[in-house]
Amino acid sequence: MTVSEVKPRKPWKASPKDRSVDLAIFIAAALLSFFFVDFTPMKGKLAYFATFFVFYMLIGAIFKFVTRGSASAVDIVVNTLVALGAIITVLPIGSILITVIVKGSKGLHLGLLTHDMSLATPTDPITNGGLLHAITGTLTLVTLALIMSVPIGILTALYLTEIKGIFTRPIRFLVQAMSGVPSIVAGLFILSAVLYPITKSYSGFMGSLALTILMIPTIARTSEEVLLLIPNDLREAGVALGGTQWRTVAMIVLPAARSGLVTAMILGVARIAGETAPILLLTGGADTVNPNPFKGPIGSLPYYIWKSFAAGSTESITRAWTGLLVLLGIILILFTLARILGNRKVAR
Amino acid sequence: MTDSNERENEKMETSVQSSGLADVAHAAKRREPGSMPMGRGLEARGVHAWFGSNHVLSDITLDFAAGTVTALIGPSGCGKSTFIRTMNRMHEFIPGAAMAGEVLLDGRDVYAPGTDVTKIRLQIGMVFQKPNPFPSMTIGENVLSGLKLAQLKVANKEELMEECLVRAGLWNEVKDRLGAHGGSLSGGQQQRLCIARSLAVRPQVLLMDEPCSALDPGSTLRIEETIRQLSDSMTIVIVTHNMQQAARVSDYTAFFLADGGPGAMIECAPTSEIFSRPQDKRTENYVTGRFG
């Protein structure tokens, strides 16, 4: 039996020769930019970066124009610009992350999770005290705000997409307007409408009320967009099987939109987890763990970061960076958890 | 491997079936109205429909006798789908929709004040043009979804599930993977799943809105067989653009046409007559493929 040997190929991919040409252009551009910056008064990394891109684009375009024609030249120019846009977008994020990790990791120690700041002063060594009060406080605030805003947000979205009553337009407008409300306004509102006239004391609940105000528009808008993506076929199929509108929504529309609704919750949490202004106004920022969100001041990570930076000593500034790192870590963990829960297959 | 063989066979059968329009039309089984013990069927009395100020359907009076299959044919935009949607009150879901006339199920107007709409839709089931299994449910759950939606109790769910899947001609293909998601089936299987889903609530009438328009010939044949079997126990109304299909599955055929104005019914007669001796010139032009 003779089987002719056929090797799988990918003719649409760049050949090794193409790739070495691209690499040569890259190196040439890098070298040119290096000399150019050295022999002109320009200075710094930004100059290398900028001249490199200009040279890469120029050399590439000229080379491609000569070898392949104008379409290839335009192609390389546009590709470079798109890549530049992507890099400029990612750079600040990467830079922030690296800065937080480098500066924050200096203050990491196991005691962070078991101690609070009640027995530590700003000038104490970093190993004294911890973040327990702030971590528990932030989790409490976020959980309370989630419990209040998720039902309201999703019900609002259901009103906008499923019921489509006469108030749909004004409500949609208000929700959109609310999502632009500065957080300090939400904080001041709770301060003047609830804290001063009624409770007259700081508490975690006051903070989560303000966070709820900020969170509802995010959840409602995202949920609305997710629900609009659910094909109308499914709603019609549910109703055609003899379901009432409510049962169709509860059994078919919401489960079909589940992962999107989880995303809406994640975005809501992302909106509020690092929110500082209302927390400063309303929670009082305790240094000890306060398990009761309805009574007495409560600590939180944003408050801790703000307070530590304000204290000004070397140790406390390191503490602030560590707090930032922990806050980022907590948000990451929450996101991952939500993703896992949202994608889990329906158990039978 | 066996799967693809099966599909090949189906294709061959289909090509045999579709040869010779008139022959097939005569081969379609005929049944006299009212001979089946399943209610009095469905009657439309002077049905009109509007979308906003656009009059799309004018004065349709048509009887669907119990136990018959009626095909609605006609060019796109002549109001066939709108008409069947008025009959199980799905028409009202479209913003700006309006209607006039009566739709009688067992002699009672489904639009009468105080009628429980969900009950009407339980008795008049519907299969849509595009297969739309519920994505968050398994195959088994999809079949029983109507019971859950309408909060009906059933003694033996497994038995009902099997019965519906058998009647929809899907049981053999899915019996080993009832726990898989509905979306994992092929288009034709999904459509049969949707039929099985409609059967589970035991409707008296089944409305089918171009159920095979998105399917391959093999799946189409399967669904046509299913329709023929189902007509023993229920009244079926099927909208189709495929005239061979109308000839193969239906006892009666109604021809709809929108000639500039709102859609109207031109002619309704036993299927063999529509295809061999149409009374109206326009019907003849349409069924012989001269327009539309």
Q: Among candidates A154, A147, A171, which has minimal Cα distance to A260? A: A154
pTM: 0.77
Using an 8 Å CB-CB cutoff, list chain B residues near A238.
134, 145, 149
Average pLDDT over residues A122-126: 78
CA distance B94 to A112: 59
pLDDT band at A348 (very low <50, low <70, confident <90, very high): very low
The pLDDT, as a whole number, for residue A347 is: 37
Average pLDDT over residues A314-330: 91
CA distance B289 to A70: 52
3-state secondary structure of B222: helix
The pLDDT, as a whole number, for residue A1 is: 55
Average pLDDT over residues A330-340: 83
- Domain definitions of chain B by residue range: 20-287
Q: State the angle between helix axes of A70-105 and A45-67 in degrees (0 to 180), rounded to the nearest 10.
A: 160
CA distance B248 to B29: 9
The pLDDT, as a whole number, for residue B26 is: 39
A347 touches chain B (CB under 8 A): no
* Domains along chain A with CATH numbers: 16-105 (no CATH), 132-343 (1.10.3720.10)
CB within 8 Å: B148 and A348: no
Superfamily of domain B20-287: P-loop containing nucleotide triphosphate hydrolases (3.40.50.300)
Q: Among candidates A135, A110, A120, which has minimal Cα distance to A302? A: A135
Residue B169 is given by DSSP the state T
Q: Among candidates A186, A187, A207, A193, which has minimal Cα distance to A293? A: A207
The pLDDT, as a whole number, for residue B169 is: 85
Q: Which residues of chain B have pLDDT under 50?
A: 1-37
Residue pLDDT, tens place only, A241-252: 988 999 999 999
**Residue A234 distance to chain B (closest CA, Å):** 6
Using an 8 Å CB-CB cutoff, list chain B residues near A234.
132, 134-135
A229 touches chain B (CB under 8 A): no
Which one of A235, A242, A348 has the shortest CB-CB distance to B179?
Answer: A348
H/E run at residue B255: strand B252-257
The pLDDT, as a whole number, for residue B15 is: 41
The pLDDT, as a whole number, for residue B19 is: 40
Burial class (CB in 10 A: 0-12, 13-18, 19+), B102: middle
CA distance A272 to B218: 55
Using an 8 Å CB-CB cutoff, list chain B residues near A262.
none
Using an 8 Å CB-CB cutoff, list chain B residues near A255.
134, 136-137
State how beta strands B69-73 and B252-257 pair.
Answer: parallel
ipTM of this complex prediction, to 2 decimal places: 0.77
CB within 8 Å: A241 and B201: yes
The pLDDT, as a whole number, for residue A174 is: 94
CB within 8 Å: B134 and A239: no
Under 8 Å between Cβ of B227 and B45: no
pLDDT band at A182 (very low <50, low <70, confident <90, very high): very high
CB within 8 Å: A237 and B134: yes
CA distance A259 to A253: 12
